[in-house]
């Protein structure tokens, strides 16, 4: 993995000093994914992701220069199922360096769609800057008929260049729609309209290169939790795992994770975050032993509130966060506190 990652210093040195520009300065950070993929034959579903460079992606959309002065950084070139917390930290550090050094006015991150929502949420939690950060990708490889990557990248640059996107946290743009990092999730495996925000809907849409926001961001989505990427840059994040609940589920996997050093466990429960008696007993014991346990749900809408079935002392509820996003918030929360009440306060920002 290390061979794919450039140091922040080296990447910043790739660029000359920005001139006196009248257009917004947008940096595209490429990480790979389907948007950089090539189909084995254009008419087939089979393809190899993460083949094109950021320079190639930019050249595919000459109209992009009408909206902004664009430059690129190739952070890595991977399929997003291979994304890791270590790369998240490196990406966030690059974002911080670019904005702190006034190297750009907005940032676009191209990313595989499988874990895009996770990367977006991590960046949202640790990014302290008001300048726009927008993630995008594609559902079809670059040489597929009807490839959606060029339009998505164009829209993402338009949004990152728009002053209306300032102060709205990290955003995701797919198939013309704008989503918040906390609310967005992938809801379809192959369709270009693959992303949605099940509880709150999209924040807006891109029309003709212009952002139209339907509504202001809920206050919770611009809360600063105080996570500092500069403090996290040289540390390994706490290990948090996810256990799925289902009919007949035992505590075998839960117990194995605890025995192998998990700092926290998110239970993707059925319904309102429910799980079997066996998992419940193991969860209670884990909390007593200092392991953080978050009760989430595998259901797309509704979330999990504190008035659940069989609540117990020390249990944390995920509120509206999905299991995968609850995992990320818990990882970061555990860097500063192991008190369930304090961690619950952070989750309560996402009702």
Residue 290 is encoded by which pair of tokens?
A: 């200092």
Residue 37 is encoded by which pair of tokens?
A: 């993929």
Q: Is 275 left (phi over 0), alpha (psi -120 to 50) or beta?
A: beta
Which residues is 243 bridged to in the sheet? 267
Among 61, 55, 65, CA closest to 21: 65
**How many helices and strands (H and E) does the chain possess?**
10, 16
Q: How far apart are CA 91 and CA 227, in angstroms?
A: 15
The number of beta carbons lying within 10 Å of the beta carbon of residue 303 is 21
CA angle 225, 134, 42 (to 5 degrees): 140
- Which residue is associated with the tokens 């704008």? 178
Catalytic residues: 34
Assess contact for 161 and 24: CB atoms under 8 A.
Answer: yes
DSSP letter (8 states) at residue 208: T
């Amino acid at each position: 993995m290390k061979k794919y990652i450039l140091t922040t210093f080296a990447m910043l040195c790739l660029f000359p000093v920005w001139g006196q520009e009248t257009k917004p300065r947008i940096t595209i950070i490429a990480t790979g994914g389907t948007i950089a993929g090539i189909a084995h034959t254009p008419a087939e579903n089979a393809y190899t992701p993460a083949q094109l460079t950021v320079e190639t992606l930019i050249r595919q959309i000459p109209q992009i220069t009408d909206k902004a002065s664009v430059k690129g950084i190739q952070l890595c070139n991977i399929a997003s199922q291979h994304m890791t917390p270590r790369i998240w930290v490196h990406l966030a550090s690059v974002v911080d360096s670019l904005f702190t050094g006034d190297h750009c006015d907005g940032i676009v991150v191209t990313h595989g769609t499988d874990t895009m929502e996770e990367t977006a949420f991590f960046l949202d939690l640790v990014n302290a800057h008001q300048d726009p950060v927008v993630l995008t990708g594609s559902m079809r490889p670059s040489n597929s008929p009807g490839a959606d990557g060029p339009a998505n990248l164009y829209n993402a640059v338009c949004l990152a260049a728009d002053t209306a996107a300032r102060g709205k946290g990290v955003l995701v743009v797919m198939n013309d729609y704008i989503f918040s990092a906390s609310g967005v999730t992938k809801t379809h495996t192959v369709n270009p309209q693959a992303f949605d925000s099940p509880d709150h809907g999209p924040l807006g849409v891109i029309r003709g290169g212009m952002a139209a926001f339907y509504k202001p961001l809920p206050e919770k989505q611009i809360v600063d939790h105080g996570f500092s990427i500069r403090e996290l840059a040289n540390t390994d994040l706490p290990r948090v795992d996810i256990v799925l609940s289902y009919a007949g589920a035992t505590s075998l996997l839960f117990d194995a994770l605890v025995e192998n050093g998990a700092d926290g466990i998110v239970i993707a429960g059925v319904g309102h975050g429910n799980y079997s008696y066996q998992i419940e007993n193991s969860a209670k014991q884990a909390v007593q032993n200092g392991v953080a346990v978050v009760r989430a749900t595998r259901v797309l809408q509704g979330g999990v509130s504190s008035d659940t079935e069989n609540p117990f002392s020390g249990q944390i509820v995920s509120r509206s966060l999905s299991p995968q996003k609850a995992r990320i918030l818990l990882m970061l929360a555990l860097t500063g506190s192991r008190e369930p009440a304090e961690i619950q306060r952070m989750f309560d920002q996402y009702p």
